[in-house]
Structure 1
Amino acid sequence: MGYFLSGLILLLSSLPLAASTLTDGSEQLVVVLSPSQAASDGTLRRFERAGKGPWQPVGEPVPVLLGKGGMAWGRGLHPAQPGEQKREGDEKTPAGLFRLGMVLGDAPEPLPGTRSDYVRKTDRTAWIGHSDLPDGAKYNHLYVLPEGATPPPWWEKEVMKPDTPAHFWMVLIEHNYPDSVPDAGSAIFFHIQRSPVRRSAGCTVMPKEAIEELILWLDPKKKPLVAELPLPEYQAKHEAWGLPPLR
């Protein structure tokens, strides 16, 4: 018996360990694919899994629109990549693998069933897109103007104006966040499209019913991620990054 156990231990210790991937620990994944780096349209798909099991598709693919300039590499969970990098004002959607964060909206309360943290946008909330602002405003972070405080001179440039239909619901894509490098790109969200053909300044946009379905599906306990990539990059990286194969 002792020989058997020692032999079994030796056998198990010689088996290759499952390789770790960038998606370890996540059980929800959004995949946004575009035909090429220059393309400004794409398709969004959702996946779930149990533990480290295989990714299973959820729901139907959704057509989305991207930044007018296509994609450039963002700052997220993936290692640094060669090629064009996302910059403030370039109107490009960040490519890479990112966490999904808070939900923001105009409604007093989140959609019933929302599990993500919810922030109601008002005329006292801003998302900071300039790196040289005083008053404790941190680049690529939410800023809430204290009650009774006078808006600073830069406020109109940064305030998240309520009652903008395209921004009624928003989901934060954690590009360059929370460790934000100045001028590496800010305010990257999923949000509602302005029209079926109007591209964004870098966000990923879709019909209202699609983002509402996405919001209700997201579960922070499952550590949701989003992979946004041109198709050739996805085909080259999906296995190493732990992403589902294309079918």
Structure 2
Amino acid sequence: MIKSICKTTLALSILTGGLFYSNITPNAIKTVEAATVNGTVTATVLNVRSGPSTSNKIVGTLKKGAKVSITSTSGTWYKITSGSKTGWVSSKYIKKSATTVSTATVNKMKTLGTSKQLIVVSASNESTRNALIETFEKSGSTWKKLHTYTGVIGKNGMISNKHEGDYETPEGKYTITTAFGRNTNPGTKMTYRKITSNDVWVDDSNSKLYNTWQSASANNGRWKTAEKMNISQYDYGFVINYNQARTPGKGSAIFFHIAGTSGYTAGCTATSKTNVVSILKWLDPAKKPLIIQTPLNKLSQY
């Protein structure tokens, strides 16, 4: 979904060794089994307190460069563990590392059915606009990780109970069946629909055609609002099959597409054009691809 204020970006991005990172060096990427977020102390000496406030007792200190695991947050404070030390520290003195989803975690998932291709879009929390996008493929009975990319999600983060216009990316597991683009098929095996200047996606919750791809010239009063598809962010992308029941007000036009210039989306997931094309070429309908969009602390539900 793209609104007038919802063009997306991946500023200061680099392509390194087949892995796409934005403002993250390869050494900062950590793989974890669960939902722990890692970080590094940036202060010369950082006080560790018994609670999330300067009024709480100091129970220890950490030196610059110390590695921590962030287990929860409260306002501008992180609850951390570092070696034998556990307590609360000011978040302004912790630099977070990107946290990837491990292959072991995917191999423990019970909800993937007969799928052999999986995209995991993970966020460190529900309010961030940044996400990691990771691709996995199943060979025999074992899942293997293929690539890790950075991307952006909704302006207001992720949410499990999405509503139209909330600028949130819907959490959940969804099928992928249709790719699209303003250009010719880049080589995907998915059903590919070429966008024309007449194409729109209906976002009018009161229309019987809510959350469907239509031709603007065929409106005849059947909807009041619709999103234009003929935009540069949709040069390439695919439909995330969210709200297939087309429940009024639950959200529409949820895509995986090319990032624009603002650093967030209105509810879609976006990354660089190079990454989108690479993923499209990899997707195979015979392997029943799925996409999971989730904050790290909810990974275990899959």
TM-score calculated relative to the size of structure 2 = 0.60
The one of 203, 212, 217 equivalent to 2:277 is 212
Distance in 1 (alpha carbons) for counterparts of 2:158 and 2:180: 24
Q: Distance in 1 between matches of 2:226 and 2:196?
A: 12
CA distance in structure 1 between the partners assigned to 2:198 and 2:265 by the alignment? 24
> Scaled by the length of structure 1, what TM-score is found?
0.73
TM-fit CA distance, 1:154: 7.2
Q: Over residues 57-83 of structure 1, what are the superposed CA-to-partner deviations in whole Å (9 max), with x where a residue is unaligned?
A: 113x1010000011111xxxxxxxxxx
1:68 maps to 2:155? yes
> Contact 2:164/2:250 (CA < 8 Å) preserved in 1?
yes
Q: 1:27 aligns with which of 116, 129, 134?
A: 116
Q: Residue 173 of structure 1 is aligned with which of 219, 240, 252?
A: 240
Question: How big is the shift at 1:50?
Answer: 2.9
Question: What are the Cα deviations for residues 4-30 of structure 1, in whole angstroms up to 9, with x where unaligned?
Answer: xxxxxxxxxxxxxxx993211100000
Given candidates 144, 149, 154, the residue that maps to 1:56 is: 144
1:175/1:151 Cα in 2 relative to 1: closer, same or farther (>3 Å)? closer
1:224 equivalent to 2:289? Answer: yes
Unaligned runs of 5+ in 2: 1-107
Task: Tell me which residue corresponds to 1:82.
Answer: none
C-alpha contact (below 8 Å) 2:153/2:264 kept by paired residues:
yes
Matched-pair contact (CA < 8 Å) for 1:34–1:43? yes
Task: Say which of 259, 284, 290 aligns to 1:193.
Answer: 259
1:203 aligns with 2:268: yes
Deviations 1:92-148 (A, max 9, x none): 0000111112111111x311x211111111122221111223xxx511111235xxx
More helix by share: 1
- Structure 1's consecutive aligned runs of 4 or more residues displaced over 6 angstroms after TM superposition are none
The letter of the residue matching 2:167 is E
**Can you give the 5+ residue segments of structure 1 that lack an aligned partner in the other structure?**
1-18, 74-84, 242-247
- 1:86 aligned residue (162, 171, 176): 162
Identity %: 29
3-state DSSP of counterpart to 1:214 = helix
Contact 2:129 2:263 in 1 (8 A): no
| Kept after mapping to 2: 8 A contact 1:170/1:189 | yes
> Equivalent residue for 1:140?
211
Residue 80 of structure 1: aligned partner: none
Tell me: higher relative CO, structure 1 or 2? Use CA pairs within 8 A at least 6 residues apart: 1
